[in-house]
Structure 1
Amino acid sequence: MSTEDLENYETEAELALYREYRDVVGLFAYVVETERRFYLANNVDVQVRQTGGEVFFELTLSDAWVWDVYRSARFVKSVRVVTFKDINIEELAKRELDL
C-alpha cells in the first residue's frame, strides 16, 4: 500500500465518520469534548474528584456515540471517562419535528 493510498483511506474514513455524525447528532442531547475524544450523549454525569492534591473529572455518559474513526461500534450504552484536563459539555438545541 502506498503512502497516497493510505492517505486516501484515512481521508475517506474521516469523511464517512463526519457523515455519520451529521446523521446522528439530532438523536442526542449533549456534546462532550475531552482532550482525547468527542462524544454525543443523552445523559451526562460529571463528578469532580481529588486525590493526592490532583483534581480530575469522572464522567459517566449514557446512550452515547463516540467520535473515533478506528472504532467499529460507535454507539455505546454507557461510557466512563476519567480526565485530568478541562472538559467541555454543551447542551444541544432541540429541533422541531420535521413533518
Structure 2
Amino acid sequence: MSAEDLEKYETEMELQLYREYRDVVGLFTYVVETERRFYLTNSVELDVRTAENGDVYFDVRMQDAWVWDMYRPARFVKTVRVVTFKDVNIEELAKPELEMPKEGFSG
C-alpha cells in the first residue's frame, strides 16, 4: 500500500467516523474529552483523587458511551473507566426543544 493509498484510506475512515458521530450525537447527554479519547455518554462520574505521592489524578466512569476512535470496530461501549493525570473536559450537550406547530394540524 502506498503512502497516498494510506492517506486516502485514513481520510475515508475519518469521514465515515464523522458521519457516524453526526448520526448518534443526538442520543447522548454529555461529551467527555480526555487526553486520548473523545466520548459521548448519557452517564458520567468524575472523581478527583490524590495519589500517595501527592499528584492529583482523575477517575472518570461512563456508562453507555460512544467512542471517537476510527480504529475501533465497535464504538459503542457499555462501561468505560479512564484514569488520567491530564485534565478532563465534561460538557452537557444542548438538547433542541421540540417544535410544536403554531397552528392546528391540517391534513
Q: Specify the TM-score bucket, using the shorter chain as the normaliser.
A: over 0.9
- The aligned counterpart of 1:57 is 58
Q: Is the aligned partner of 1:93 residue 2:94?
A: yes
- The aligned counterpart of 2:15 is 15
Identity %: 73
The DSSP-based 3-state class of the residue aligned with 2:74 is: coil
- The aligned counterpart of 2:34 is 34
CA change 1:98–1:13 in 2 (3 A) is farther
Distance 1:68 1:7 in 2: 17
Larger Rg: 2
Structure with the largest fraction of strand: 1
The gaps in structure 2 that reach 5 residues or longer are 101-107
- The aligned counterpart of 2:3 is 3
Tell me the TM-score normalised to structure 2 length: 0.88
CA RMSD of aligned residues (A): 1.3
- The aligned counterpart of 2:77 is 76
- Give structure 1 regions of 4+ aligned residues with deviation exceeding 4 angstroms: none
- The aligned counterpart of 1:43 is 43
Q: Is the 8 A contact 1:42 1:64 kept in 2?
A: yes
The DSSP-based 3-state class of the residue aligned with 1:31 is: strand
Tell me the TM-score normalised to structure 1 length: 0.95
The gaps in structure 1 that reach 5 residues or longer are none
Q: Is the 8 A contact 1:29 1:42 kept in 2?
A: yes
Q: How many residues align?
A: 99
Q: Is the 8 A contact 1:57 1:84 kept in 2?
A: yes
